[in-house]
Structure 1
Amino acid sequence: MIEIVAVIVRWVQLAANMILIGSSIFLVISIYNKAVVSTPWLIRLERLLPWIAGVLVIGLLALLAVSSSLATGVIGHAWQPSAWYEFLIKTRTGHIWMWREGFAILTLGIAFIIRNSHLNRAQWRYILCSIFAIVTLSLGSLGSHAAAEEMSVTSILPYTLHIVLAGAWFGALPAFLLIIFTKKKGQVSQKIDQLGIQTLKRFSIIALPIMLGIIATGVIVADRAVDTLYGALVATEYGWLLITKVILLIFILVIASRARSIWLPALSQGQDLIAMGTQNLRKWVRVEFVIAGVIILLATILANTIPAKHSLIEEWPYPFRFSIDATWEDPSVQTQVLLGASLFLFAVGIIIFGKIKKWALLRSIGVSGVVILSSFAVMLPPIAVQAYPETYRNTPVPFDSISIAKGAGYFAENCVVCHGPQGKGNGVLAKSFTKPPADLLTEPHTERHTAGDFFNWLSKGIPDTGMPGFEAKLDEEGRWDVVNYIHAMSRGYQARLMSPKVIPDDPSTGPPNFSYTAHDGSHGILQDFRYNKSVLLVLFSWPESRERLAQLRAQYYKVEEGGTEVLAVPMHSLNSESLAEITEEIPFPVVTQGAKEITQSYILYRRTLGRPDLLGEGAIPNHLEFLVDRFGYLRARWIPVADAGGWSNMRLLMKQIVQLKQEKEILPPPDDMVH
């Protein structure tokens, strides 16, 4: 019950805040003509402002009450001031609320001044009221999903602009209706009627860029909320709410277009056209206002719903999904998609042509609608691929060295006979199948299919291919381990373009995370270094790497000054004597626990263009080094047997380290899970 009350409270205070913004802006553009100041609609609007501001102030108080209750889970805290105080003092949302309430009170004060200054109206008062209302609304964006993910101007600004522009549009509709109904009741002279019409037309001019701004910022906000998980649009609460909001917005755009192009111009024509324009405006602007109110309600619910990209799709409800990545290599798919896109653009052209030729609304919608549906019929079937209930399921097992090492063992036990020791689909039984097993190494299957797809195949098998299911043989975690191993294999092969030189400003490969304990007692995970230091990960063999370790020991202070930590990982087990010899006076950690799993994971990144290593079980180098930047991306690699010289030239290594130290954050850190 408290959740329903919270939705209503958020909706009411948001709507009041937006109406204050829109009404104030409407008054600003109205007062340019001094003859307007005595019009009944303006007087009524000024009288309404304190009431609306009062609703905002009280609504925010109610919001504080329900927020306190929701934060603690105790319904009784909704009417306990002591709980309110705790919420205000101890939460960021509480701090934001105090600023919002303060500016709401200032807005209420200026609203009273406007109401009591009807004999001495001044545009600056309306401007000040709109500024206070805008600040009150904008402060709320500091508690949005965008702010929760990243407290930065680039993250928050699109959302802030979106709600402020929405307020300028939605909030002006009551003033719009006041003018229309005042005209209908016949309480003003013809001159003042014309002034009202001029005001409506003036607002209509700025309404177009405002709506374009709403759409543009809305696309940005929605894109960030969905990210690349477009399937969530039709499988999550957030997605369906967003789709409903967009559909309602389309209805509003149709109404606004008719009002701007037909009904408003009719108010300056003959009596019959004036009557028609007035009647339609009265009817449809009211409908627009109601629909807009529903959109604001949906926006309120969306703001407190888990974004689509974070939603859990435990069971995909459809037997198919659309995927460009999985189908685009087929030339016929490219042709059909481009043809469908051309038809869609043709439909847009029909809409524009119909508007120029002043087609009837139903005719324009009917013709363009048929072409749009035809474009979808041509474009969508070719990019449809089979999907499964698990397709969008999030893996519960992180992409780390422990999981990959386990997955490698399961793969060796169950998959090698068909897929081969390196996953190329060339196992000893491969030729016995009508359709050869998939090449999991060199073909981009992990790019074309989701982790959930692989999990389904590992669980239930693939019909008519000979691929069995392992649901009875491997537990759920074991199957996810194999999925992680397959992803690591594929990423390792794709990283064969990597060299000892960092490609500037081009992070792309997320390496496996790992945990470790070192000889000096230090311990942690790779992610501990994020936003702090880069990591030079040295996989070494003993005694073959003796000279290189001595070089790193001598130059360690330079590496450390470059903001980089060295982690040395033995590729094979060390006896106590060897470990003591290696660690004597060594200034950087030598991993003693976790080394086996780290090695098994990172040797998958051993392939280069010159040494693709595709035959047999593969040739494992006895020394590899990786450079991971402070944002968590694998940026460079040196394999002595493949790259002569390389980082044995410490100047070259230091150049790469300096390059990474100078770079700013380009992408968020890589995800901990595969998708």
Structure 2
Amino acid sequence: MYLSLAFIRFLESLPSALAVGLLLMPRLIGEDGGRFKVPVAAAAVFRALLGFALLYLIARAIVPAERPIDSALLWEFTFGTSVGKAWVFTQLVAFAFAGLAVARLFVASDLLDRITLWTGVGVLAVVSVTGHAIDDGLPVWTQASFLLHTAAGLTWLGGLLGLIWWMFTAHKKPPEVAARLAERWSLVAKVAVGLVAVTGVAMAYENVGSVPNMLATPYGRLLTLKLLLLCAVLLCALAIVRYMHSRPAGDGFNVDWVGKVGSLEAVFGLGLLAIAGYIAVITPASHETNIYWPLPFRLSYIATWGQKPAFPSPIWWWAIAAVVLAAVAALLWWTPATREKRLYATPAVTIAALFCLAVSFSTEAYVDTYNDPTQDFTAESVARGMAAFQDNCVACHGPMGEGNGPMSKDLKNAQGVKVDPADLTAPHVGTHTIGDIFHWLTFGGQSGVMPSFSHVLDVDDRWDMINYLLMLSSTNRSRFIAPQAMIQWLIAPDFALIDPREEVTTFFKLRGKPTLLSFARCTATGDEKKELDASLLKAAEAAKAAGANHVTVYTGDCPAAAKAREALHPAAVEKAYSIINRYPNVPYTSEIAQAHFLIDRSGYVRARFKQFGEDDGSATQLAAQAAMMAQEPIVEINLHSH
């Protein structure tokens, strides 16, 4: 179905682009375009009629396969869905263009020609409206980018096809006229390609999401191929421009040569159009869940230079080679003796320098390196992952993942070399992607000692464990969280909230202003209970006074007046946050007697209060920190940032 839809979009775009090109060429040199009137009208009418086939295929791709598409269903789909209404709009523009093109067969008018040309450009722009641009969840600037991108790209392709048609059918025209047309078209093409490049970056930012997705998803790989074809197009264009600038005056204009190079450029352009039609109907890379990384390496600053490698080391040698080669490239360009060879030698040496630099930033990667998790980063998932870790991993990694399990001293690889289990709380954990960890859980660790857990843990279980490891890797640094706000680095796990109105159903939806997350176990009696109750009441009062959200995870007989929004699964939330509720030289416990975490408006844990005493200044500190965080910009975070 995708191929059929993409093919129809290709056939729909090509005639309207050609019609616009044939309208544009004569206007660039003030020529009568009478010989192109019939082809323009035929192409415009064909485009308008082909729109009905597009509607059927769009409906067939959306309507469940078991439902036959009859006239009643098609009518309902057309006028009852946003996609159908978008198609109606595009079809009205297409029929307007067809009507104007047919009218030109009977009326000779410069004004009519202008209106027809700009209506045709409008037809090219609305091609995207029935593709990804219909997504009303996209920002306005991205939707506008789709319109500009298709209008500019198809105008360029149509103009190129029109130029070739003109070149091969204008045998009676002087070469000087062909040269003038090529020069003026070159200016239009530069503007069009510039718009394509700028809007393409904006669209890629929204639809691809990350640089790795360019190679790790079907959408990204097709977009990479599209960029390669664009490079081929630009090389052909550069060859024509160089010819136009270097030809001696009076030597005439080689129409056949320019036409042949332009034809090759058009072939690459048609390839671009075919790919564009296909990626317009498949899942964008940013929404893709089937992510397959094809290379055995990836580029990472954190995993290479971020680890401050000692000199000498391979990282340093590759970097030094890059600097030396860059210097050689500069010398080749500026040394008079090498001027004749610099156009070839300098790019070659520069590419070698970039290769060496890339190697200095490369680290091992796997097919799963950029895999997307199937489980969100929630407290409930962390709690499930913690249970799986306790059942399968503590023998080697230890109860808190510090690499000190009972079997840690006896582990050896296949060669009999002793291997120490990884300390999962050490900084090196942050150099790996969550996809790397998923790969090791699935196929076994790098050392050859850690076995595969794919037969023990299903996919969701493995992602639950990774969510737990994300929390666990922060435990050493989290020991030092204090009332004074720290930098943004520790993401607060999301969890479900109880809300009778169902307005704020998750913790993450409280973003926008600071939140105080309070934990307590009200199981004590006597003076201890009075002191704890007073602290909780003070916390509620302080949060309200500071203008912060307040969420409470209380166990036992806690004061009702101290309670605020509550977690749907309090036990799981307590267990998850207990992982980071640690202090220096204090044994770990999965129960939180009392702790108050201050989360900023972006969703980062920034400060922690042990309790709220009457005169200990904690309420004042909370107010000051909350006020500061309320002024900070909101940072859009990935809940799986590692």
TM-score (norm 2): 0.82
Further displaced range: 248-257 or 620-629: 620-629
Cα distance in structure 2, aligned partners of 1:396 and 1:115:
59
| Cα drift, residue 442 of structure 1 | 3.5
Cα distance in structure 1, aligned partners of 2:347 and 2:469:
44
Cα distance in structure 1, aligned partners of 2:157 and 2:183:
16
- Conserved in 2, the CA contact under 8 Å of 1:515 and 1:523? no
- For residue 121 of structure 1, the aligned residue among 110, 121, 127 is 110
Cα distance in structure 1, aligned partners of 2:405 and 2:612:
27
Equivalent in the alignment of 2:414: none
Letter in 2 for 1:374: A
Equivalent in the alignment of 1:415: 393
- Conserved in 2, the CA contact under 8 Å of 1:522 and 1:589? no
Equivalent in the alignment of 2:525: none
Equivalent in the alignment of 2:271: 294
Written as runs of structure 1 = structure 2, the 5 A alignment for 1:493-512 is: 509-512=490-493
Cα distance in structure 2, aligned partners of 1:594 and 1:509:
22
| Cα drift, residue 569 of structure 1 | 0.4
Written as runs of structure 1 = structure 2, the 5 A alignment for 1:5-84 is: 5-30=4-29, 36-38=30-32, 42-74=33-65, 80-84=70-74
Letter in 1 for 2:426: T
- Conserved in 2, the CA contact under 8 Å of 1:507 and 1:666? no
Equivalent in the alignment of 1:33: none
Equivalent in the alignment of 1:326: 303
- Seen in structure 2, the aligned counterparts of structure 1 residues 75 and 199 have a Cα distance that, compared at 3 Å, is farther
Equivalent in the alignment of 1:443: 427
Give the match's secondary structure for 2:110.
coil
Q: How many residues align?
A: 621
1:640 aligns with 2:623: no
Give the match's secondary structure for 1:172.
helix
| Cα drift, residue 619 of structure 1 | 10
Cα distance in structure 2, aligned partners of 1:96 and 1:493:
54
Equivalent in the alignment of 1:92: 82
| Cα drift, residue 441 of structure 1 | 1.6
- Seen in structure 2, the aligned counterparts of structure 1 residues 340 and 13 have a Cα distance that, compared at 3 Å, is farther
C-alpha deviations, 1:112-164, integer Å up to 9, x for none? 4555443x424xx4553344334334344455446638332233233333222
Cα distance in structure 2, aligned partners of 1:219 and 1:315:
23
Equivalent in the alignment of 1:312: 289
Cα distance in structure 2, aligned partners of 1:268 and 1:114:
39
- Seen in structure 2, the aligned counterparts of structure 1 residues 225 and 44 have a Cα distance that, compared at 3 Å, is same
Letter in 2 for 1:601: A
- For residue 204 of structure 2, the aligned residue among 219, 222, 243 is 222
Give the match's secondary structure for 2:597.
strand
Equivalent in the alignment of 1:588: 564
1:257 aligns with 2:238: yes
| Cα drift, residue 4 of structure 1 | 3.5
- Conserved in 2, the CA contact under 8 Å of 1:229 and 1:309? no
Letter in 1 for 2:182: L
Cα distance in structure 2, aligned partners of 1:403 and 1:270:
75
1:247 aligns with 2:228: yes
Give the match's secondary structure for 1:194.
helix
- Seen in structure 2, the aligned counterparts of structure 1 residues 602 and 313 have a Cα distance that, compared at 3 Å, is same
Equivalent in the alignment of 1:179: 166
| Cα drift, residue 558 of structure 1 | 5.5
| Cα drift, residue 223 of structure 1 | 4.0
| Cα drift, residue 597 of structure 1 | 1.1
Cα distance in structure 2, aligned partners of 1:633 and 1:325:
23
- Conserved in 2, the CA contact under 8 Å of 1:318 and 1:387? yes
C-alpha deviations, 1:5-24, integer Å up to 9, x for none? 32221112222343455555
Structure 2 segments unaligned to the other structure (5+ residues): 412-417, 523-528
- For residue 572 of structure 2, the aligned residue among 597, 607, 610 is 597
1:198 aligns with 2:180: yes
Cα distance in structure 2, aligned partners of 1:218 and 1:195:
34
- Seen in structure 2, the aligned counterparts of structure 1 residues 619 and 646 have a Cα distance that, compared at 3 Å, is farther
Equivalent in the alignment of 1:625: 596
| Cα drift, residue 477 of structure 1 | 3.8
Cα distance in structure 1, aligned partners of 2:255 and 2:335:
27
Structure 1 segments unaligned to the other structure (5+ residues): 31-35
Equivalent in the alignment of 2:638: 670
Cα distance in structure 1, aligned partners of 2:236 and 2:641:
45
Equivalent in the alignment of 2:445: 462
| Cα drift, residue 516 of structure 1 | 4.6
| Cα drift, residue 626 of structure 1 | 3.3
- Conserved in 2, the CA contact under 8 Å of 1:422 and 1:618? no
Give the match's secondary structure for 2:375.
coil
The CA RMSD measured in Å over matched residues stands at 4.1
Cα distance in structure 1, aligned partners of 2:587 and 2:537:
34
| Cα drift, residue 426 of structure 1 | 4.4
Cα distance in structure 1, aligned partners of 2:72 and 2:610:
67
- For residue 482 of structure 1, the aligned residue among 431, 450, 465 is 465
| Cα drift, residue 554 of structure 1 | 4.8
Cα distance in structure 2, aligned partners of 1:352 and 1:226:
39
Cα distance in structure 1, aligned partners of 2:273 and 2:350:
28
Letter in 1 for 2:352: S
Equivalent in the alignment of 1:513: 494
Equivalent in the alignment of 2:194: 212
Written as runs of structure 1 = structure 2, the 5 A alignment for 1:558-597 is: 562=547, 565-570=549-554, 573-574=555-556, 578-579=557-558, 582-583=559-560, 585=561, 588-591=564-567, 594-597=569-572
Written as runs of structure 1 = structure 2, the 5 A alignment for 1:249-398 is: 249-263=230-244, 266=247, 269-271=250-252, 274=253, 277-313=254-290, 316=293, 318-328=295-305, 329=307, 330=309, 332-333=314-315, 336-337=318-319, 339-340=321-322, 343=325, 367=345, 370-371=348-349, 374-375=352-353, 377-398=355-376
Give the match's secondary structure for 1:625.
strand
- Conserved in 2, the CA contact under 8 Å of 1:507 and 1:633? no
Cα distance in structure 1, aligned partners of 2:192 and 2:327:
24
| Cα drift, residue 246 of structure 1 | 1.9
Letter in 2 for 1:215: A
| Cα drift, residue 601 of structure 1 | 1.4
Cα distance in structure 2, aligned partners of 1:344 and 1:306:
40
Letter in 1 for 2:200: G
Letter in 2 for 1:424: E
- Seen in structure 2, the aligned counterparts of structure 1 residues 438 and 523 have a Cα distance that, compared at 3 Å, is farther
- Seen in structure 2, the aligned counterparts of structure 1 residues 423 and 127 have a Cα distance that, compared at 3 Å, is farther
1:538 aligns with 2:518: yes
Cα distance in structure 2, aligned partners of 1:53 and 1:357:
52
Cα distance in structure 1, aligned partners of 2:564 and 2:104:
70
| Cα drift, residue 587 of structure 1 | 6.6
